[in-house]
Amino acid sequence: MKTTKTVLITGSSSGYGLETARHFLAQGWNVIATMRTPRADLFPASSHLRVLALDVTRPDSITRALETAGPIDVLVNNAGLGLFGAFEATPMSTVRDIFETNTFGVMAMCQSVIPQFRERGAGTIVNVTSSATLAPFPLVAAYTASKTAIDGFTASLALELREFDVRVKLVEPGYGPTTNFTANGQQRMQGLIPAAYEPFACRVFAGFTPEKPVTRESDVAEAVLRAASDVSDQLHFPAGADALALA
């Protein structure tokens, strides 16, 4: 008898994470949707859904969420913070905040689920990064650094966990204008475009024209499901028309 698989997704309250959780649910998976402030009203009522509190920057929160979740088959590390601004004007405290969630939070989640996957000899970790790792973009240096670190980390981790039949994948979404990338970081971004950078920043913003290919939430949800179901050694899964073009 085929058993229903269980996926735990971080950062499920909006954007790519929310759509990914809904997509897995629609495909018949057991979904554990995690977010800092749980909101079950974001999803259709389902016996296959659990919404749990999780802050990936807090070890106690990770431990609590994983104990409550029980055994899982797939971990999707989607929680992340956006940051846009001139690096010169970005306080190092802000850089550290970005790394706490985008880099160390992902690593902490991986380290916490690896034992159950290794002991079972099965399981998949999907780390969601960004197309900023595929080609350089201006004014996102700190953000790109936090995501590029996870690209290298994931590639190495995939090799060491292959020994135990545990798969590790990378999903690289493009630019999603309908997500909360800038909204969720507006406070952090105050003053990060100094006067000297304004003309350049205006030219960069002007480049985001409606005609350019972008990434929809559904593109990412589909790529994450593909990665979660993939049994080959494929590591990279670009998501969205712009990310596919870069890849």
Distances from the Cα of 10 to the Cα of 56, 57, 90, 138, 219, angstroms:
8, 12, 26, 27, 18
What is the pLDDT at residue 174?
82
Q: Which domain holds residue 139?
A: 6-246
Number of domains into which the chain is organized: 1
| Residue 111, domain CATH | 3.40.50.720
In a domain, 156, yes or no: yes
Per-residue pLDDT reduced to its tens digit, 58-108:
999 999 999 999 999 999 999 999 999 999 999 999 999 999 999 999 999
In a domain, 36, yes or no: yes
CA dist., res. 238 & res. 143, Å (int): 18
Bridge partners of 128? 171
Q: Which of 16, 143, 175, 197 is catalytic?
A: 143
More confident residue, 113 or 246: 113
16 belongs to the catalytic site: no
Q: Which pTM does this prediction carry?
A: 0.92
Per-residue pLDDT reduced to its tens digit, 162-192:
999 999 999 998 877 666 655 555 566 678 9
In a domain, 114, yes or no: yes
In a domain, 1, yes or no: no
In a domain, 75, yes or no: yes
